[in-house]
Amino acid sequence: EPEVTQTPSHQVTQMGQEVILRCVPISNHLYFYWYRQILGQKVEFLVSFYNNEISEKSEIFDDQFSVERPDGSNFTLKIRSTKLEDSAMYFCAGKRGLAGTGELFFGEGSRLTVL
């Protein structure tokens, strides 16, 4: 049983469309993350989320991106107007412990293809 569940596993969308990727971490996770991995490239940090607010974000995470955890369980990543270069695998991750320690538990990923 994975600690972090992501949906959808694969989404194909047209350029300019909005996409929402969903993640359900285990309840005892305190910190939540989105990472992105373009095919054949490194795992890149997008954003971290703690106590219902963004704690840190990368330069990739521009105004087209947003995150929220509206109901205390689902953690979502929204891309408002997708671009071709947003095509990637998006990984949600959760962490139980304090910042700077502890294991990241990754989901299986959501593959986004922008046409």
Partner 1 sequence: QKEVEQDPGPLSVPEGAIVSLNCTYSNSAFQYFMWYRQYSRKGPELLMYTYSSGNKEDGRFTAQVDKSSKYISLFIRDSQPSDSATYLCAMINTGGFKTIFGAGTRLFVKA
User: Hey, what are 1's tokens?
Assistant: 């049983």
Q: Which of 56, 73, 81, 113 binds partner 1 (CB under 8 A)?
A: 56
Q: Which of 45, 68, 78, 96 binds partner 1 (CB under 8 A)?
A: 45
Amino acid code (one letter) for 101: T
Is residue 48 a contact partner of residue 55, using CB atoms and an 8 Å limit? Answer: yes
Q: Which of 26, 74, 76, 108 binds partner 1 (CB under 8 A)?
A: 108
Is residue 88 a contact partner of residue 36, using CB atoms and an 8 Å limit? Answer: yes
Q: Nearest approach, Cβ of 76 to partner 1 (angstroms)?
A: 17
Amino acid code (one letter) for 45: F
Residues 58-87 that bind partner 1 (CB under 8 A): 58
Rule CB under 8 A: say whether 52 interacts with partner 1. Answer: no
Q: Which of 55, 73, 81, 113 binds partner 1 (CB under 8 A)?
A: 55
Cα Rg, the chain, nearest whole Å: 13
Residues 14-43 that bind partner 1 (CB under 8 A): 31, 33, 35, 41-43
Rule CB under 8 A: say whether 100 interacts with partner 1. Answer: yes
Q: Nearest approach, Cβ of 58 to partner 1 (angstroms)?
A: 8
Residue 70 preceded by cis peptide, ω within 30: no
Q: What are phi and psi of 85, to 5 degrees?
A: -75, 0
